[in-house]
Amino acid sequence: MIVTLNWLKDFVDIDVSPEKLAELLTNSGNEVEEIIYQDKYLKNVVVGKILKIEQHPNAEKLVVCQVDIGTKVTQIITAAKNVFEGAIVPVSLAGANLANGIHIEDSKLRGLDSFGMFCSIEELGVTDYDGEKDGIMILDNDLVPGTEIAKALMMDDVIFDVNVTANRPDCMSIIGIAREVSALTGKPLKEQNLYYETNNENVSDYVSVEVENTELCPRYMATALKDVKLEKSPKWLRARLVAVGIKPICNIVDITNYVLMEYGQPMHAFDHKYLGGKKIIVRNAKKGESLKVLNQNTYDLDEKMLCICDANGPSVIAGIIGGTYSSIQEDTKTVVFESAAFERASIRRTSRRIGVRTDSTARFEKGVDVGSPEYGMKRALNLVYELKAGTIVSGVIDTVKEQPKNRDLEFSLNRIFKLLGIRVENDKVLNILNNLGIKSKIDGDKLFCNVPVFRSDIENDADIAEEIIRMYGYGVYDSIETAPLSSASVTVGKHDKVLLLARNLKYELCDYGYFEAVNFSICSDDVKDKLLINPEDKMYNMIKIANPISEDLGYVRTSMANGMFLTVARNLARKNSGFKLFEVGRVYIPKSLPLTELPDEINMLSLCSVDPKDDFFVLKGIMENLLRDFEFEYKLEYSKLPYLHPGISADVIDINTNVKVASFGQVHPKVCKNFDLPEKTFYGEVNLDALAALKEKTHSVKALSKFPIVERDLAIVCDESLTVDTIIGCVKKSCGNLYYGAKVFDIYRSAELGENKKSVAFNFQLQSYDKTLTDDEINQVVKKVLKDLQYKTGAVLR
């Protein structure tokens, strides 16, 4: 939100510096991202009047000008073609630093002194100018020589770029920021005079209004102007619009833009002669309708889009952009003003659908309260009256679903002070809230607040406590002292165990060539279908967000996979290839829906690779390395994650607790298709909370055995479903203290082995610390290995 200091002063007296004002706003929750001084490049530039022009004696293309700059007559040499005697021009004197980077000093040109330079609009950084763009800027004749150019051009304001939070749409206006300044400085908000006069005609003779969808348009106001005089707006109004980044067009259009910035109320001005049937119909578009709009594009409309129509069809895409003939034309004589409130989700959805965003869209998306159209219309008509831009027809059509009403709320002061941790004097509480527009009174412990319509964010005592403390702590009172808690004690700082683990795993993954990704923890409802999650899975039940920023981001994620797959697909679409990504974040698993208690928040690590050199075994090796520092026995089972390939994936299960610590494998082919991923996409995830709960591995050393290692090879026939991990685990247990190592070196399948059977050949090693093993002792171990394998897995010697 762009606001200016002089504009704010129309609403509240400000006696602090711009820097201090920016600090107050930032500390109270409205961050000022930038302060811009309009006159930054206008220092030492004044208004001058050319008194006399003579040819330079030593240069054919130069002329010597005698210029009145108020305090004296000075000499300036120029090559400009458009200067003339009597012209009022901007003169930059020695020491000026202009917008295009030129530094001005007195100089000699072909033997004659020149004490400054005439300036063009480019050199001054001026945008609102109707004269010749290439030559010297010619100013209005009524300007007095010697006047600072910043004041002459009304470019002496200070501009603040304020970052307004999503819950404060009321601050998307000059008056909204002014309320904040009023409370911060303790200065009352000035009453605004919105007076205007009308003729004796009735607006219903000019236009009728019908609202078919009051859910998407809870309020629509309209009135008419006749005998409209389209002309250039006065300098003060144009200067303010330019300061906030809006190009002046003509008085009627400028009035609607002025109201947009001052009151945060988007408006539209219809040319009455193009209003078919002299009626306005607010309805959803019909199938097959289209509209050519002001940006010269034509958009196909659908039944979900709200439109402002006349008897002939759509004229405006509601809250976004007007049709070609819905706006003011050069010959417009009669105008219909619109001031309305639209449902924000509808505007956001339509804006995304057609790919158009305007200043009006930005306001409607954040929310325009139902009371705003009335104030916006009054201010627009007040400006029409003040500027004598036309005759205002009597009456305003007001179609409203429900009349806006302030809310009366009651709070406990003790409860508020308990939330704050301090007590605030009653008179200061009242002063803060009243300056914010929340009319309040106190009776004992009770605080009675009349919350205005524009403060939809105020719902409970925590909200009121926030309003009090941000003004009391940072505003005019600045009354919060830094002090330690009464029961505090000095503690030694340390990293959270999960965060420390995550950091270490990040470093390790970077060593493996992975790059970190940061994805949204919110997602759309169709994630469940794209990831093949069935209703019985705990990941199926996702928490719906009450106030989502968009329809596509309306739920809290229960899996890391969606965000990762979308990021991978987006990079692939941009011709990146062969990359590997990881993310650390949280998933949110509700215990039940609707929520009756907080969900389980689980810290997770996810990783994904589309590197053609990677396969299942590379990913398995990475997972084993990530888990190697923890003291636990685990087994591998075919993964039950629905978005992993059922035959090329594994879950890592803690044998002692039966808790799943990690999963990894190739992504399911259907999921790859749903996300436009290559077939050979590999994905894994680690439960960081489960991993951090495990005991870290302690490493012990012992002397090497003096006795030889004995090796034996065995080949067994077993079920296809039997994993190598199970076989090795059984061998290790059977060998006991003599076990040194084991590995599989061959897996063979054939029809002779039988259906769903395979042959697994493995080598295992034995060693004793006490003696050299005899053949009998070795054979006894081999027999025990075979017996245990048959008993526990059904495997037999091949």
Task: Compute the distance between CA of residue 553 and CA of residue 526 in angstroms, rounded to an integer.
Answer: 11
Is residue 431 within 8 Å of 413, Cβ to Cβ?
no
Cα angle 472, 476, 477; round to 5: 50
Ranges in the chain, pLDDT < 70: 476, 483-490
User: Taking Cα atoms as reference points, which of 77, 92, 99, 105 lies closest to residue 149?
Assistant: 92
Distance between the two ends of the chain, CA-based, in angstroms?
78
Query: Which pair of structure tokens corresponds to residue 191?
Result: 């009453």
Is residue 264 within 8 Å of 244, Cβ to Cβ?
no
Residue located via tokens 């102007």: 225
Query: 525-531 contacts: CB < 8 A, separation 24 or more?
Result: 525/554, 525/555, 527/555, 527/557, 527/559, 527/562, 529/674, 530/562, 530/671, 530/674, 530/675, 531/559, 531/561, 531/562, 531/642, 531/643, 531/671, 531/674
Q: Helix, strand or coil for residue 583?
A: strand
DSSP code for 738: G
Task: Compute the distance between CA of residue 407 and CA of residue 464 in angstroms, rounded to an integer.
Answer: 13
Query: Which pair of structure tokens corresponds to residue 779?
Result: 């054979």
β 88-92/306-310 pair status: unpaired
Query: Which pair of structure tokens corresponds to residue 219?
Result: 């309020």
pTM score above 0.75 = no
Cα angle 383, 388, 394; round to 5: 75
The residue type found at 743 is K
Is residue 233 within 8 Å of 251, Cβ to Cβ?
yes
- 785: Cβ–Cβ under 8 A, 6 or more apart, which residues? 714, 730, 731, 734, 735, 764
Query: Which pair of structure tokens corresponds to residue 634?
Result: 């685990």
Query: Which pair of structure tokens corresponds to residue 413?
Result: 């002061």
pLDDT digits (tens, 9 = 90+) for 247-278: 999 999 999 999 999 999 999 999 999 999 99
User: What pLDDT, on a 0 to 100 scale, did the predictor assign at position 386?
Assistant: 95
The residue type found at 130 is D
Q: Helix, strand or coil for residue 647?
A: strand
Q: Helix, strand or coil for residue 461?
A: helix
- 736: Cβ–Cβ under 8 A, 6 or more apart, which residues? none
pLDDT digits (tens, 9 = 90+) for 512-544: 999 999 999 999 988 999 999 999 999 999 999
Helix (H) or strand (E) holding 635: strand 634-637
Is residue 328 within 8 Å of 336, Cβ to Cβ?
no
Helix (H) or strand (E) holding 20: helix 18-27
Task: Compute the distance between CA of residue 651 and CA of residue 604 in angstroms, rounded to an integer.
Answer: 15
- 88: Cβ–Cβ under 8 A, 6 or more apart, which residues? 47, 48, 49, 138, 139, 140, 141, 143, 145
User: What pLDDT, on a 0 to 100 scale, did the predictor assign at position 246?
Assistant: 92
User: Taking Cα atoms as reference points, which of 398, 387, 382, 397 lies closest to residue 198?
Assistant: 382
In Å, how far are 47, 613, 621 from 617, measured between CA atoms?
Answer: 78, 11, 6
Q: Identify the burial level of 718 via C-beta atoms within 10 angstroms of its C-beta, where 0-12 means exposed, 13-18 middle and 19 or more buried.
A: buried
